[in-house]
A and B are shown apart, each in its own frame.
Chain A
Amino acid sequence: MSHPTASSTEQPPTAAASRPFDVQRLRQDFPILARQVHGQELAYLDNAATTQKPQAVLDAERDYYTTMNSNIHRGVHTLSIEATQAHEHARRVVQRFINAASDKEIIFTRGTTEAINLIAQSYVRPMLQPRDEVLITHMEHHSNIVPWQIICEQAGAILRVAPVTDSGEVDMEQFKAMLSSRTRVVSVVHVSNTLGTVNPIERIIEAARQVDAAVVIDGAQATAHAAVDVQELDCDFYAISGHKMYAPTGIGVLYGKQSILERMQPYQGGGDMIRSVTFEKTTYNDLPYKFEAGTPNIAGAIGLRAAIDYINSVGLSAIASYETELLQYAEQALASVPGLKFIGTPAHRAGAISFTLEGMHPHDIGTVLDSEAVAIRTGHHCTQPLMERFGIPATARLSVALYNTREEVDRLVRGLHRAGELLGV
């Protein structure tokens, strides 16, 4: 993945590349990491589910509510003006973070799920004809499966699924073979939440271009781990969840190319998305407000801005190299656990590692680890078709953030040995 060209006109992100990556110092920024679970220090390795929040994000939300809480885009009073400025500043910070061409291309949503549903309903559904095709992959999260199933069923269109190899990567030959003039949309996850696979989205986008299919990238698991440049990628849409990148829950982003967004119908009707309303005719607001009906999550957007500032202050490339090294350490350490099988061994990995232990159900593993204050996720990770692909009901998954350490990985490994002893395997 490439680095964003962070040309900034306001509050340039502090380029901290010169500062060494000091994980113990960074851990101090996350108050929850100091808490105890069952009398032991928390080892939080469930970051693909949601990341913890740095003090700067908590302060930004609190500051909004304590100093400028008001509704935006309407009041002429001071608080409303300040809140509107803070909200729109957040939009520009997101724009620079993913290097979008315009802040009109940044639509605030509740998260990735809402962003994909918005695209499906407002862009794809109206153009979808019987026997048209939507192409996804076998490793998609349910949120990148179900919205397409809904509209394909409504339109009599076909949902096609590109297979995943035994190593947990998209079978690119098969993927390309499934593209045709009937393919209207290609929607692919950037980084798999279950396998940790970093997909070759540059090649996927290029292949989709050959058949004039629109491209949607589910970036929920990507933006906390590496820089994303939507102009360089040249995707049509890119969906983001704030809470997986140190921001609060309930805020996310849909990036869409302006030329496409302008042609699209609104997703929801209501306040803020209109220019004028009469009972005879309503005219819609300009981008991006056309897609933001109702009072938005103002505090969430401000929290997302603070999270991006925080990420920039640490430096995404420093985060990426630290996490990559930590994941390699974890892979080696896990390989020593008897009966452990990796589910997914991709050449390019970010964020997560999934595994199973012979003779032990992931749920039992999760309970034993919890007793040691090690938090991981066990289950199907909202990727049930992928579980079926690998012939398993569930996996255990660790997923890292910038604040995780080798010691925490060691505690996980010790916990797995203990699970083996306790469950008598």
Chain B
Amino acid sequence: MNELHDMYQELVLDHSKSPCNHHELESATHQAEGYNPFCGDRVKVYLLIEDGAIRDVAFTGEGCAICTASASMMTQAVRNMNSGDAEAAFDRFHDLLTDHAGTIEDGELDDLGDLASLVSVRRFPIRVKCATLPWHTLKAALHGDGEPVSTE
């Protein structure tokens, strides 16, 4: 039960109810759509990339609380990163959430701001895809292949 409280902690709920950067981005140079057919979550990620750096980032779409909060926190975390650093951040986030054995310290993501509050999702393996969908979509936008990504 405490695990449930940890996953749906206040910071996560705040982001899901009032997500940051939740709008289209007309100036976007890169964008991609992501879809989780398991639960119907859909996100679209917009990036404005100049000189290899993410100058602006936004998202639209509808999803569960975890997906929406993760997307909101992601847009905060990757702003002004270069694309390589953004992908590296995704790798660390992904590794932590799929570390079901719990060998990685909870504090591993503290430098990524609010994102660290999503660490409890790793105790709900069925919900990990909710949290990683915005990131998969970000990665697809960075690579600019234009094909919608799916978690399945």
Query: What is A's interface to B at a CB cutoff of 8 Å?
Result: 359-364, 367-368, 371, 378-380, 384, 387, 393-394, 422-424
Contact = CB atoms under 8 A, between A and B. Distances in A.
Interface stretch (B38-46, B104-112, B142-150): B38-46
A423 B8 contact: yes
Contacts of B4: 367-368, 371, 422
A363 B130 contact: yes
B13 A361 contact: no
Nearest to A419: B8
A387 B62 CA distance: 14
B64 interface: yes
A361 B63 contact: yes
Interface string B1-35: 10011011010010001000000000000000000
A379 B127 contact: no
A394 B8 contact: no
Given A363-B130, A424-B13, A379 B40 contact: yes
6 tightest A-B contacts by CB? A393-B40, A361-B64, A363-B64, A394-B40, A363-B39, A364-B65
Contact of B13 (A362, A367, A387, A423): A423
A364 B40 contact: no
Nearest to B14: A424
Nearest to A394: B40
A364 B64 contact: yes
Contacts of A423: 8, 13, 65
Contacts of A387: 40
A249 to B, nearest CB: 20
A378 B39 contact: yes
B62 A393 contact: yes
A393 B8 contact: no
Q: Which of A360, A363, A380, A384 has the most CB of B within 10 A?
A: A363
B97 interface: no
Contacts of B65: 360-361, 364, 423
A393 B66 contact: no
A393 B1 contact: no
Nearest to B61: A393
A394 B10 CA distance: 24
B1 A371 contact: yes
